[in-house]
Amino acid sequence: MIMVLQLGLALAAWDFAAGFAGTFAFSAVEKKLGMNRLGQVLTALSVAAGFAYLPFWMYRGYGVFRFENTWADVSCFFTEEENVFAFLFAVTPLLALVTFLREILILRSIRQRG
């Protein structure tokens, strides 16, 4: 249970950082190019890329995990191939879609207030 909580916190932190960066970086580009959903799409893609790369980033090489025996050790989640494929092909797209929808809702609420 602690491993799932740690992994969830790491994913939430990455999602927050990508969303925060995407909001500021792409809002100026959207205004210049006139594209409405560019920021939301690029934020969702950056979140998806970070999530998809996570299992490969955790391996330091030769079966050694980068965070082994530390508070951030979630390596047992990725040691079985079924978990890695489920994470890459089921969890990652779902979380990217949720991020995209969240960004759209945030944009709508900002536009309604302003």
Q: Which tokens sit at 91? A: 């969890």
Collapsed DSSP state (helix, strand, coil) of residue 79? coil
Which residues are 61's β-sheet partners?
64
- The mean of the pLDDT values for the chain is 77
Q: What is the largest CA-CA distance in the chain?
A: 54
> Structural domain tally of the chain?
1
DSSP letter (8 states) at residue 69 = T
Residue 50: partners with Cβ closer than 8 Å, 6 or more residues away: 14, 18
Domain of 49 in residue numbering reads as: 2-113
For 67-95, write each residue's pLDDT tens digit.
777 766 666 666 677 777 777 788 888 88
For the stretch 5-52, pLDDT in tens is 777 888 888 888 887 877 777 766 666 776 667 777 888 888 888 888
